[in-house]
Structure 1
Amino acid sequence: MVKETFGDKLLSFIIHALLVLVLIAVLYPLLFVLVASISDPSKVLGGEVWLWPKGITFRGYEKVFQNNDILQGYGNTILYTVIGTAVNIVMTILAAYPLSRKDLAGRGLFTAFFVFTMFFSGGLIPAYLLVKNLGMVNTMWALIIPNALAIWNVIIMRTFFQQNIPIEVQESAQIDGCSNLQILVRIVLPLSMPILAVMTLFYCVAHWNSFFNALIYLTDRGKYPLQLVLREILIQSNLKDMVGTSEESLAKSVMEGESIKYAVVIIANLPVLLLYPFLQRYFVKGLVIGAVKG
């Protein structure tokens, strides 16, 4: 084993110290929101809550689950995320696999065309006019079709196919009579679970957190995703409809409103936080292997 010098030990200490600081900076806001969501709102507003809940109450969660807009938004987001991610994965595979094949004529031209769209776009107004002319305004397809393909993810998946699926295996399957579609389904995809897990996580998080397209294209409140409902809650100055009765004092309304905000944030982010541990081993392996290498 190579003996570490004092400089190596000092550098290692500095790196670990910085990583610990980054970890605290990332985890503390999540912990604070969780603690605040089950604490007495008056103590949260008074600055008494830091790491442990005080005056434990689940009033905020009760109000959240009694609100039809939040429950409907939650269902809409799950629907948009599931369908949108499925469309994303299929489109990404269908774009990445042909680009990974050396026998594709004009592969470089197609790749350049895809990459061009990463740097230049038509802008918001032409995009809205296109979606409107296609009749997708105020439908869930306005949130799915315009974002059906992420070029950066296509490049990552294409690189994975090129570096980890031997061309000899594909050629042998072709000799045995497999078509290109059969090679993709029977050979390539079963060997590509790490990158598929990475793409699934990327697309799921993007759909789950998306609100801007819904803000632009949706006018029916019944079709709002959860993030758009959450946005409205966070910017509302008057939360009487969320609190319940109009006889309650303004101070109590503000306190319960704060509790509701924290509870909604936890509920909105919990599914994504629970998804990552199950995909972590695929995520790390797929992201490293699929990275663009010189």
Structure 2
Amino acid sequence: MISGVKETGRDKAFLIFNYIYVILALVIVAYPVIYMISASISDPKYVGSGEMWLWPKGFTLKGYQIVFENSKIWTGYANTIYYTLLGTAINLFVTMPAAYALSRKDFVGRNFFMAMFMVTMFFGGGLVPTYLLVKNLGMVNTVWSIVLPSAASIWNIIVARTFFQSSIPKELQDAAQIDGCTNMRLFIKIILPLSMPIIAVMALFYGVGNWNSYFSALIYLNDEAKYPLQMVLRQILVLQEMSAQGGGAMDAASAAALNNKAEVASLVKYAVIIVSTLPIIAVYPFLQRYFVQGVMIGSVKG
């Protein structure tokens, strides 16, 4: 609000509408998160009956105890951290040089290569050919099947290219070349140090994607010792749900035992969701500005 400018009735109505909209959006976004956290530490019978609808009721940490007593959880955490760090490093190693090369007007054939990159955003080979390629390369059941097929995102290359075009002065590059600087030295010694904002954005985008990824592990990995966290949690959920299922005639004691298993499975389900998302939830508030910066970089002078 500019000082000295009088608000009209329409301005006040618009401001009130914005507040109402933001509050409603906050409720819609925050409620599922609060509900999952509360359900993970509440007695399952209150959750199942609907008595617990926001705040915890019948406090219990049994779900978390079951989850963390499983040694596979810690192995999955270690694997996910390893895949995330290695995958993000490879992503940056591929994305940044490609984006810089495509941003250079003196790069012969850059429009052709950019067009070929763009084609892959609309057409893909499909799952079966991709699997056969990974298999023929001998990468099935290895870490490379997780990090190499997704080594680069065309969208992220375009965003990084836009940053180089709009933020790195061409005169700076010309001056370096006049002083005898080679293209490789120019990129490493001058361009990269000036590109820390976009590097941080790309690292964040790729890091979150690698942390949440599970499909590649589902397709290419068959050794449980190499499963990332997402696959381990999925396995726990499936086993819990299978153990809680049953059918046919049974006595009262069996029915009660089956019902108890179902309640435990429900409790574990919410605990598993929190365990898998808590690291991202904890880190995101500190890195939110990089997400905003990444969106702005891709939307200006594109």
Same fold (TM over 0.5): yes
1:191 aligned partner, one-letter code: L
SS of aligned partner of 1:249:
helix
Aligned pair in 2 of structure 1 residues 192, 115: CA closer, same or farther (>3 Å)? same
Give the corresponding residue for 2:283. Answer: 275
1:117 aligned partner, one-letter code: T
1:259 aligned partner, one-letter code: L
User: In 1, Cα distance between the equivalents of 2:23 and 2:261?
Assistant: 39
CA contact (8 A) 1:195 1:290 kept: no
Deviation, 1:111, is 0.7
CA contact (8 A) 2:145 2:220 kept: yes
User: In 1, Cα distance between the equivalents of 2:167 and 2:296?
Assistant: 12
Aligned pair in 2 of structure 1 residues 239, 83: CA closer, same or farther (>3 Å)? farther
2:202 aligned partner, one-letter code: M
Deviation, 1:161, is 0.6
**Mapping of 1:112-191 within 5 angstroms?**
112-191=115-194
1:286 aligned residue (270, 274, 294): 294
Deviation, 1:86, is 0.9
2:103 aligned residue (88, 100, 104): 100
Give the corresponding residue for 1:243. Answer: none
Deviation, 1:292, is 5.2
SS of aligned partner of 2:149:
helix
SS of aligned partner of 1:147:
coil
Deviation, 1:190, is 2.0
Deviation, 1:169, is 1.4
Deviation, 1:133, is 0.4
Point out the structure with max Rg over C-alpha: 2
User: In 1, Cα distance between the equivalents of 2:176 and 2:199?
Assistant: 22
Deviation, 1:129, is 0.7
CA contact (8 A) 2:237 2:265 kept: no
Give the corresponding residue for 2:21. Answer: 18
User: In 1, Cα distance between the equivalents of 2:295 and 2:128?
Assistant: 34
1:57 aligned residue (51, 56, 60): 60
Indicate the larger mover: 135-144 or 189-198.
189-198
1:250 aligned residue (234, 249, 258): 258
Structure 1 outlier segments of 4+, above 4 Å: none
Aligned sequence identity (%): 56
Deviation, 1:24, is 1.4
**Mapping of 1:209-288 within 5 angstroms?**
209-236=212-239, 237-239=241-243, 249-288=257-296
Q: Deviations over 1:120-163 (max 9, x none)?
A: 11111111110110011111211111100100000000000110
SS of aligned partner of 1:121:
coil
CA contact (8 A) 1:197 1:286 kept: no
SS of aligned partner of 1:102:
coil
Indicate the larger mover: 174-183 or 217-226.
174-183
User: In 2, Cα distance between the equivalents of 1:115 and 1:8?
Assistant: 43
Q: Deviations over 1:85-127 (max 9, x none)?
A: 1111111102101011111111111111111111111111111
2:7 aligned partner, one-letter code: E
CA contact (8 A) 2:101 2:107 kept: yes
CA contact (8 A) 2:40 2:270 kept: yes
Establish whether residue 38 from structure 1 lines up as the match of residue 46 from structure 2. no
1:22 aligned partner, one-letter code: A
CA contact (8 A) 2:208 2:280 kept: yes
1:270 aligned partner, one-letter code: L
User: In 1, Cα distance between the equivalents of 2:226 and 2:232?
Assistant: 10
2:267 aligned partner, one-letter code: S
User: In 1, Cα distance between the equivalents of 2:141 and 2:125?
Assistant: 21
SS of aligned partner of 2:139:
coil
1:269 aligned partner, one-letter code: T
Indicate the larger mover: 159-168 or 249-258.
249-258
User: In 2, Cα distance between the equivalents of 1:275 and 1:264?
Assistant: 18
CA contact (8 A) 1:100 1:162 kept: yes
1:168 aligned partner, one-letter code: E
Any stretches of 5+ residues in structure 2 without a counterpart?
245-253
Give the corresponding residue for 2:113. Answer: 110
User: In 2, Cα distance between the equivalents of 1:73 and 1:34?
Assistant: 21
CA RMSD across the alignment: 2.0
Deviation, 1:30, is 0.9
Q: Deviations over 1:200-230 (max 9, x none)?
A: 1211111111111211111122222211222
TM-score where L is the length of structure 2: 0.88
1:238 aligned partner, one-letter code: M
